[in-house]
Structure 1
Amino acid sequence: MKLKKDDRVVVLGGKDKGRTGKIEKVLPRQAKVLIAGLNLFKKHVRPQGERQPGGVVEIAKPLPASRVALVCPKCGQRTRVGYRVNQVDRVNRDTKLRICKKCQAAI
């Protein structure tokens, strides 16, 4: 999955279309992402004794990863993610950098 935690994304479809937020959690097996403050639903909770009162609680549900697009930190536009391989001489290992497809900046 090309999206990572703390990436800024914009929602492409659904009730929160056009809104931006930061990814709190990535669920790669389900291909979903949890975005802070978006895709909120109301859940009715029963009281759990004296420690937790009942009522209506808003919880965030995960969105499909195909319904969000990454926002480039440099150009500020929604973009696709590409990869560039950089060679490191010290250990002779290659490192993969995520790049913006529009402005070629590292993400």
Structure 2
Amino acid sequence: MFIRKKDTVVITRGAYKGRRGRVLEVYPKEGRLLVEGVNMMKRHTRARSRNQSGGIVEREAPIHISNVMPWCEAAGKPSRIVMKRLEDGRRIRVWKLTGETLD
């Protein structure tokens, strides 16, 4: 999975199409990720103590990785990410559009 936590992505499909957001959490086994301010859902919560009130809380729900694309700040548009292996054996992420490294 090429997208990691704190990357900026753009939504390519669905109700939030075209919106950009920061990745909060990545779930590689499910192929999903949490994007800040995208795919909001309402969760009904019960008051756990006297000073904590219950109610309806809005929070992000995971979105499938096929519905997002990484956002390249240098190019100002979405781009794919490729993995390159260095001479010392390390793998780094590189923007396909510009050739710059991410890590």
Q: What CA distance in whole angstroms lies between the structure 1 residues aligned with 2:73 and 2:91? A: 18
Pairwise CA distance, 1:61: 0.4
Pairwise CA distance, 1:46: 2.3
Q: What CA distance in whole angstroms lies between the structure 1 residues aligned with 2:38 and 2:72? A: 19
What's the counterpart of residue 83 of structure 1? 83
* Alignment of 1:96 onto 2:96: no
What's the counterpart of residue 55 of structure 2? 55
Q: What CA distance in whole angstroms lies between the structure 2 residues aligned with 1:97 and 1:73? A: 18
- Residue aligned with 1:94, SS: coil
Pairwise CA distance, 1:11: 0.5
Q: What CA distance in whole angstroms lies between the structure 2 residues aligned with 1:50 and 1:15? A: 38
Greater shift, 74-83 or 63-72, is seen at: 74-83
Pairwise CA distance, 1:52: 2.1
**Aligned counterparts, 1:14-29, within 5 A:** 14-29=14-29
| CA shift digits 1:73-105 (9 cap, x unpaired) | 321210111122222xxxxx3111211111111
| CA shift digits 1:12-39 (9 cap, x unpaired) | 1111111001101100000001011211
What's the counterpart of residue 90 of structure 1? none
Q: Computing the radius of gyration over CA atoms, which structure comes out larger, 1 or 2?
A: 1
Q: What CA distance in whole angstroms lies between the structure 2 residues aligned with 1:66 and 1:51? A: 42
What's the counterpart of residue 10 of structure 1? 10
Normalised by the length of structure 2, the TM-score is 0.90
Pairwise CA distance, 1:72: 1.3
Give 1:95's aligned amino acid.
R
Greater shift, 64-73 or 37-46, is seen at: 37-46
- Compute the RMSD of aligned alpha carbons: 1.2
Q: What CA distance in whole angstroms lies between the structure 2 residues aligned with 1:84 and 1:77? A: 21
Count of residues paired in the alignment: 102
- Structure 1 portions without partners, runs of 5+: 88-92
